[in-house]
Amino acid sequence: MNLRPIQPLPDVPNGYMQLENYSSVKRLWTYLQGASQQGLLVRPLRTDSEEVCRRLISGYQLPAAGVLIDQAKTLKYLDEHVYTPHPTLMAALEGNFEPLKLLLSESYVLKIDFTLAFTRSRQLVMKTSAQFVPLPEATEKLDLKLEARRFTRDEWRVLLDRACGLMR
Protein backbone atom coordinates (compact mmCIF):
# COMPACT_ATOMS: atom_id res chain seq x y z
CA MET A 1 0.00 0.00 0.00
CA ASN A 2 1.27 3.42 -0.97
CA LEU A 3 1.94 5.58 2.10
CA ARG A 4 3.32 8.39 -0.07
CA PRO A 5 0.50 9.58 -2.33
CA ILE A 6 1.35 12.53 -4.57
CA GLN A 7 -1.92 13.74 -6.14
CA PRO A 8 -3.56 16.47 -4.00
CA LEU A 9 -7.32 16.88 -3.88
CA PRO A 10 -8.55 19.83 -5.98
CA ASP A 11 -10.61 21.34 -3.14
CA VAL A 12 -11.47 20.78 0.50
CA PRO A 13 -14.24 18.14 0.56
CA ASN A 14 -17.45 18.89 2.45
CA GLY A 15 -17.36 18.02 6.12
CA TYR A 16 -13.59 18.28 6.52
CA MET A 17 -11.91 20.56 9.07
CA GLN A 18 -8.65 22.35 8.43
CA LEU A 19 -5.65 21.17 10.43
CA GLU A 20 -2.89 23.16 8.76
CA ASN A 21 -2.72 25.92 6.18
CA TYR A 22 0.40 26.16 3.99
CA SER A 23 1.21 22.55 4.80
CA SER A 24 3.20 20.09 2.70
CA VAL A 25 2.56 16.62 1.37
CA LYS A 26 5.45 15.45 3.57
CA ARG A 27 3.35 16.28 6.63
CA LEU A 28 0.62 13.96 5.34
CA TRP A 29 3.25 11.26 4.75
CA THR A 30 4.49 11.68 8.33
CA TYR A 31 1.00 11.01 9.69
CA LEU A 32 0.45 8.03 7.38
CA GLN A 33 3.83 6.47 8.24
CA GLY A 34 3.22 7.02 11.96
CA ALA A 35 -0.24 5.46 11.83
CA SER A 36 1.10 2.45 9.95
CA GLN A 37 3.93 2.02 12.47
CA GLN A 38 1.40 2.17 15.32
CA GLY A 39 -0.45 -0.77 13.77
CA LEU A 40 -3.45 1.22 12.55
CA LEU A 41 -5.15 0.39 9.26
CA VAL A 42 -4.26 2.98 6.61
CA ARG A 43 -6.08 2.70 3.29
CA PRO A 44 -7.39 4.88 0.47
CA LEU A 45 -11.10 5.59 0.29
CA ARG A 46 -13.03 3.33 -2.08
CA THR A 47 -13.49 6.17 -4.56
CA ASP A 48 -9.80 7.18 -4.62
CA SER A 49 -6.83 5.77 -6.49
CA GLU A 50 -3.56 4.95 -4.70
CA GLU A 51 -2.04 8.28 -5.80
CA VAL A 52 -4.75 10.54 -4.30
CA CYS A 53 -3.64 12.33 -1.12
CA ARG A 54 -6.49 11.07 1.06
CA ARG A 55 -6.40 8.12 3.45
CA LEU A 56 -8.63 6.56 6.07
CA ILE A 57 -6.81 5.81 9.31
CA SER A 58 -8.81 3.39 11.44
CA GLY A 59 -8.26 1.19 14.45
CA TYR A 60 -7.40 3.80 17.08
CA GLN A 61 -9.14 3.09 20.37
CA LEU A 62 -9.35 5.21 23.47
CA PRO A 63 -9.95 3.09 26.61
CA ALA A 64 -11.72 4.30 29.76
CA ALA A 65 -13.44 7.11 27.85
CA GLY A 66 -16.85 7.00 29.54
CA VAL A 67 -16.55 10.62 30.65
CA LEU A 68 -16.67 11.62 26.97
CA ILE A 69 -20.28 10.49 26.42
CA ASP A 70 -22.56 13.09 24.86
CA GLN A 71 -25.23 13.30 27.54
CA ALA A 72 -27.70 15.40 25.52
CA LYS A 73 -27.64 13.05 22.51
CA THR A 74 -27.95 10.04 24.79
CA LEU A 75 -31.02 11.48 26.51
CA LYS A 76 -32.59 12.33 23.15
CA TYR A 77 -31.90 8.82 21.89
CA LEU A 78 -33.40 7.29 25.05
CA ASP A 79 -36.55 9.39 24.58
CA GLU A 80 -37.01 8.55 20.89
CA HIS A 81 -36.00 4.90 20.48
CA VAL A 82 -36.88 1.46 21.77
CA TYR A 83 -34.12 -0.26 23.72
CA THR A 84 -33.67 -2.94 26.35
CA PRO A 85 -33.96 -1.38 29.82
CA HIS A 86 -30.75 -1.40 31.80
CA PRO A 87 -30.13 0.11 35.28
CA THR A 88 -27.50 2.52 33.92
CA LEU A 89 -29.91 3.77 31.25
CA MET A 90 -32.68 4.24 33.78
CA ALA A 91 -30.31 6.28 35.95
CA ALA A 92 -29.35 8.36 32.90
CA LEU A 93 -33.03 9.07 32.22
CA GLU A 94 -33.24 10.43 35.77
CA GLY A 95 -30.22 12.67 35.12
CA ASN A 96 -27.53 10.55 36.79
CA PHE A 97 -24.93 9.66 34.14
CA GLU A 98 -22.25 8.38 36.53
CA PRO A 99 -23.28 4.67 36.30
CA LEU A 100 -23.33 4.89 32.48
CA LYS A 101 -19.92 6.61 32.40
CA LEU A 102 -18.52 3.90 34.68
CA LEU A 103 -19.96 1.11 32.50
CA LEU A 104 -18.55 2.72 29.34
CA SER A 105 -15.13 3.15 30.93
CA GLU A 106 -15.02 -0.50 32.02
CA SER A 107 -16.70 -2.34 29.13
CA TYR A 108 -16.35 -0.08 26.08
CA VAL A 109 -13.68 1.73 24.08
CA LEU A 110 -14.06 4.88 22.04
CA LYS A 111 -13.27 3.84 18.45
CA ILE A 112 -11.94 6.76 16.40
CA ASP A 113 -11.45 6.94 12.63
CA PHE A 114 -9.65 9.76 10.84
CA THR A 115 -9.81 10.62 7.15
CA LEU A 116 -6.78 12.74 6.39
CA ALA A 117 -6.27 14.62 3.10
CA PHE A 118 -3.98 17.14 1.44
CA THR A 119 -5.35 19.68 -1.05
CA ARG A 120 -3.93 21.53 -4.02
CA SER A 121 -4.12 24.77 -2.00
CA ARG A 122 -1.68 23.20 0.51
CA GLN A 123 -4.21 22.54 3.25
CA LEU A 124 -4.04 19.49 5.48
CA VAL A 125 -7.65 18.61 6.30
CA MET A 126 -9.36 15.91 8.33
CA LYS A 127 -12.76 14.30 8.80
CA THR A 128 -13.38 12.24 11.92
CA SER A 129 -15.81 9.83 13.53
CA ALA A 130 -15.97 8.45 17.06
CA GLN A 131 -18.30 5.94 18.64
CA PHE A 132 -18.36 3.70 21.66
CA VAL A 133 -18.02 -0.01 20.91
CA PRO A 134 -18.13 -2.83 23.46
CA LEU A 135 -14.97 -4.72 24.30
CA PRO A 136 -15.08 -8.33 23.08
CA GLU A 137 -14.98 -9.61 26.67
CA ALA A 138 -17.69 -7.19 27.88
CA THR A 139 -20.49 -8.92 29.74
CA GLU A 140 -22.88 -5.98 29.60
CA LYS A 141 -23.66 -4.56 26.17
CA LEU A 142 -26.20 -1.80 25.63
CA ASP A 143 -28.38 -1.91 22.52
CA LEU A 144 -28.31 1.78 21.70
CA LYS A 145 -26.08 4.12 19.78
CA LEU A 146 -23.61 5.81 22.11
CA GLU A 147 -21.85 8.90 20.81
CA ALA A 148 -18.97 10.89 22.21
CA ARG A 149 -19.32 14.60 22.85
CA ARG A 150 -18.16 17.04 20.19
CA PHE A 151 -14.43 17.66 20.17
CA THR A 152 -12.69 20.89 19.23
CA ARG A 153 -10.23 21.00 16.35
CA ASP A 154 -7.34 21.14 18.84
CA GLU A 155 -8.65 18.06 20.66
CA TRP A 156 -8.94 16.18 17.37
CA ARG A 157 -5.38 17.23 16.53
CA VAL A 158 -4.09 15.83 19.83
CA LEU A 159 -5.98 12.56 19.25
CA LEU A 160 -4.54 12.29 15.72
CA ASP A 161 -1.02 12.99 16.99
CA ARG A 162 -1.41 10.34 19.70
CA ALA A 163 -2.87 7.82 17.27
CA CYS A 164 0.05 8.29 14.87
CA GLY A 165 2.69 8.14 17.60
CA LEU A 166 3.73 11.77 17.21
CA MET A 167 2.76 12.56 20.82
CA ARG A 168 2.85 10.41 23.92
Per-residue pLDDT, 42? 97
157-161: which pairs have CB atoms within 8 A and are 24 or more residues apart?
A: 157/19, 159/60, 159/62, 159/112, 159/128, 160/19, 160/31, 160/57, 160/114, 160/116, 160/126
Distance, CA of 75 to chain centre: 22
DSSP codes, 68-85: GB-HHHHHHHHHHS----
Verdict on whether the full-model pTM lies above 0.85: yes
Identify which of 93, 88, 89, 131 has the alpha carbon closest to the alpha carbon of residue 113.
Answer: 131
pLDDT at 168: 72
Residue spans per domain, the chain: 17-163
Tens of pLDDT along the chain (168 residues) come to 788 999 999 999 999 999 999 999 999 999 999 999 999 999 999 999 999 999 999 999 999 999 999 999 999 988 888 778 889 988 998 999 999 999 999 999 999 999 999 999 999 999 999 999 999 888 888 888 889 999 999 999 999 999 999 987
- β 108-118/54-63 pair status: antiparallel
| Spatial separation of the C-alpha atoms in residues 110 and 45, rounded to whole Å | 22
